[in-house]
């Protein structure tokens, strides 16, 4: 991890919004909904690209928000610069932070930079601008061998840092790591405690790029410059476990592996869904099961991110290329559960603890967060006995009794406030997730 990463990020909740598909598609619409968002326990509002999309090679009627035309302008469809500033101010007034997308691997073919500095771009054999990933045919790639490009991009980051508190950096592994290190250093000089989130990529994509001669950073490398990284190293296995395509045991083994292969202060972004991945309620149609997966998302070591509509069990994945408003009137609502989980996520044991998860009875996740000792001889009495938190999640949402190694006794479920009785190590599950301290 970056040496100054704050591990209290593990206690935060991020809410992701694609403004164009949010209610009437404007910054004002988001601003008017901040009270509801805040009530979910959200700490950071993350907005997909706020800049205008290009017209050349446009996908759909509105174009991809990731085919940016001008890094230093605001998309007029979403509102004015004053509207954006107003939204940021309101978010800050409510005690939350705001993060925006940084799309620095590529621009639209008709971008300001492509028109004024074509030498800063990747060129194909025929001399025309191109990209290194075939299906991204609506964008052209930047070439970071030009130090003048570094200067322009970092100045742009400094400009937006006047209003926002963090960046989510799109396909960060495909941009030189040294660029990100320098950018972090220079932005921190004008705004300390800035948050840097890397969209890390799947290991298979890293290998694919490297085999084609396209340098791509691994998660471990990204952690030198970033505070958080996506959990795409395990997401595929998580999706398979959610749908039953692969074993829960296989997924949890990979999650546990993160404890030993990343820096001790690593922070992973935990998401069941996002703008690039299927809706959780589509993968897990049963609400009882979904409630358990949602609770596990919050229990995992890292920062949970919600995609707007997740709280209403939206199943349709909105397109990025046309107006496709998220339907918040589904008749379903797990906001109260999410709000409670966000409250539990603030427990200080999540700040610095060891994580482990295993499978019980084929479809139940038994996870623990155990407070770390600074030394083998440290006295933990000051923590009032709250040294181990247990989470039990029935991924099928089915009631059952399971055997555990938890000492017999009565415990308090932090989600419902109800008592949990354990006798001879056996705990009886309803369809609801359980989170409780055992010592």
> CB count, 10 Å around CB of 146?
14
Whole-number Å distance between alpha carbons of 272 and 296: 10
> CB count, 10 Å around CB of 371?
18
Confidence of residue 378 (pLDDT cuts 50, 70, 90): low
Residue of higher predicted confidence among 131 and 98: 98
- Global pTM value: 0.96
Least confident of 4-8, 259-263, 378-382: 378-382
Beta strands 400-403 and 303-307: pairing type? unpaired
pLDDT value of residue 68: 98
Q: For the segment 13-56, what is each residue's pLDDT rounded down to a tens digit? A: 999 999 999 999 999 999 999 999 999 999 999 999 999 999 99
Q: Is 116 exposed, middle or buried (0-12, 13-18, 19+ CB in 10 A)?
A: exposed
Place of tokens 């949990």: 420
Confidence of residue 373 (pLDDT cuts 50, 70, 90): confident
The candidate with the shortest Cα–Cα distance to 432, out of 226, 288, 330, 222, is 288
pLDDT value of residue 135: 78
Q: Which two tokens stand for residue 74?
A: 């605001």
152, pLDDT greater than 60: yes
169, pLDDT greater than 70: yes
Q: Is 151 exposed, middle or buried (0-12, 13-18, 19+ CB in 10 A)?
A: exposed
What average pLDDT does this structure show over 395-410?
95
Contacting residues for 134 by C-beta, under 8 A, at least 6 apart: none
Whole-number Å distance between alpha carbons of 86 and 76: 15
Contacting residues for 3 by C-beta, under 8 A, at least 6 apart: none
Confidence of residue 315 (pLDDT cuts 50, 70, 90): very high
Place of tokens 């490009």: 149
Q: For the segment 209-258, what is each residue's pLDDT rounded down to a tens digit? A: 999 999 999 999 999 999 999 999 999 999 999 999 989 999 999 999 99
């Amino acid at each position: 991890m970056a040496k100054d990463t704050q591990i209290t990020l593990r206690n935060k909740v991020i809410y992701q919004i694609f403004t164009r598909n949010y209610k009437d598609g404007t910054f004002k619409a988001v601003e008017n909904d901040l009270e509801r968002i805040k009530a979910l326990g959200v700490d950071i509002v993350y907005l997909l690209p706020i800049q205008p999309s290009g017209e050349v090679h446009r996908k759909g009627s509105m174009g991809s928000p990731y085919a940016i035309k001008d890094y230093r302008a605001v998309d007029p469809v979403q509102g004015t610069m004053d509207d954006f500033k107003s939204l940021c101010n309101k978010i800050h007034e409510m005690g939350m932070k705001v993060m925006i997308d940084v799309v620095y691997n590529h621009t639209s073919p008709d971008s300001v930079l492509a028109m004024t500095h074509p030498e800063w771009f990747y060129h194909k054999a025929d001399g025309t601008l191109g990209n290194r990933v075939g299906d991204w045919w609506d964008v052209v790639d930047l070439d970071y061998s030009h130090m003048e490009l570094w200067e322009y991009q970092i100045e742009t980051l400094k400009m937006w840092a006047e209003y926002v508190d963090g960046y989510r950096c799109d396909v960060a592994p495909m941009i030189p790591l040294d660029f990100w290190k320098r950018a972090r250093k220079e932005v921190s000089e004008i705004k300390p405690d800035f948050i840097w989130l890397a969209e890390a990529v799947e290991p298979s994509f890293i290998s694919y790029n490297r085999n084609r001669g396209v340098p791509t950073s691994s998660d471990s490398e990204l952690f030198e410059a970033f505070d958080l990284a996506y959990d795409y190293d395990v997401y595929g296995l998580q999706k398979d476990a959610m749908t039953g395509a692969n074993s829960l045991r296989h997924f949890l083994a990979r999650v546990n592996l993160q404890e030993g292969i990343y820096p001790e202060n690593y922070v992973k972004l935990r998401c069941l869904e996002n703008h690039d991945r299927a809706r959780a309620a589509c993968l897990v149609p049963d609400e009882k099961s979904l409630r358990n997966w949602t609770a596990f998302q919050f229990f995992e070591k890292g920062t949970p991110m919600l995609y707007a509509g997740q709280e209403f069990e939206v199943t349709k994945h909105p397109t990025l290329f046309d107006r496709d408003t998220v339907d918040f009137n589904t008749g379903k609502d797990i906001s109260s559960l999410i709000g409670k989980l966000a409250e539990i996520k603030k427990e200080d044991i999540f700040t610095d603890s060891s994580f482990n998860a295993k499978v019980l009875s084929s479809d139940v996740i038994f996870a623990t967060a155990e407070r770390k000792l600074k030394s083998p001889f440290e006295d933990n009495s000051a923590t009032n006995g709250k040294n181990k938190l247990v989470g039990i999640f029935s991924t099928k949402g089915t009631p059952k009794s399971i055997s555990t190694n938890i000492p017999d006794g009565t415990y308090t479920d932090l989600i419902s406030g109800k008592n949990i009785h354990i006798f001879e190590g056996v705990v009886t599950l309803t369809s609801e997730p359980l989170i409780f301290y055992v010592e």
